[in-house]
Structure 1
């Protein structure tokens, strides 16, 4: 079982792995901001009771976006952390449209813990798009992302009412614009 110290190590690990990455938004925020937001949402959703889940939220993009391996995560944290990250990691060898289709298809078949990470990730992404959309993204592309994210989240529903409401709130805010 992981401790709060391990959670701090997970934050540091993620920060080091993503050190040169920035968000795509006009504000070009450090990527770690996304990871900490996802982690905070997951921690709130589980009441802070599952340190491995919270650590996996902090690490959820490390394999997909860096040179990190699942074995490295298992050795540094736990097999469960590595397995949760694996459940939410896209296969970057596939074309983008196929990865997006598979996210929709697979969402309903992931574990409840992985669904929490996915819900938090999509919520954070939508918040980012509202506050700092990528330069050059027309309104139609932003709307298409919101619609796709809703399709992914549809497969995660029934997992956590509070986190689903957070997603719904940001979606409603976008829809009201």
Structure 2
């Protein structure tokens, strides 16, 4: 079976992300953060097996690197130098603008993602799929409800990029109701 992405490119991005996120944990756990990046790329790989017309290398690199600008000391220029402008632009679009009020960040992020190729949209869909697990124990009901509503906003805005991921996200959003009391 022919695939539309390269293991070597995957490994290069994963090594960069592992170095950048070294020591970070998934929120509310002792699990290394790199596991989240593996979950997101796994969702993308599953979609790319079905939606073969997509640029898998673009999607997977952005999936693995999607939090390096936001959560580490890694810069846009560093990503651009190591991975190219398309990857750097995708990662930047997936990065929240912390200069904005929290309530404005998602709409801003989605607006910037929509200007990118559909592979970047797919990363955001896959990211929220992987994040719609049991919420951290310290989240209150308001935060849980808001997080689910953001998931719906992401779904509505980006669903056209990938029928496969849109279906997965819709299912996760429905299942997330179990955490709302």
Q: TM-score range by the shorter chain?
A: 0.7 to 0.9
Q: Which residue of 1 is the match for residue 64 of structure 2?
A: 58
1:39 is aligned, of 17, 37, 41, to: 41
Q: For 1:81, which of 87, 95, 106 is the aligned residue?
A: 87
Deviation sequence 1:30-62 (CA, Å, 0-9, x none):
111111111111122122762232111100100
2:121 matched residue in structure 1: 115
**TM-score when scaled to structure 2?**
0.84
Pick which of 41-50 and 109-118 moved more.
Answer: 41-50
Structure 2: gaps (5+ residues):
none
Aligned partner of 2:161 in structure 1 is 159
Name the structure 1 match of 2:13. 10
What SS is found at the alignment partner of 1:158?
helix
Moved more, 147-156 or 105-114: 105-114
Any conservation in 2 of the 1:61–1:85 contact (CA below 8 Å)? yes
C-alpha contact (below 8 Å) 2:93/2:109 kept by paired residues: no
In 2, distance between residues paired with 1:80 and 1:109? 12
- Residue deviations 1:73-127 (CA, integer Å, cap 9, x gap): 1211222211211221112222322213323544544421111011011111112
CA RMSD of aligned residues (A): 2.0
Unaligned regions of 5+ residues in structure 1, if any? none
Secondary structure of the residue aligned to 2:161 is coil
Q: Which residue of 1 aligns with 2:109?
A: 103
- Provide the aligned length of Structure 1 versus Structure 2: 171
2:58, 2:86 within 8 Å by CA — same for their partners in 1?
yes
SS of residue paired to 1:155 = helix
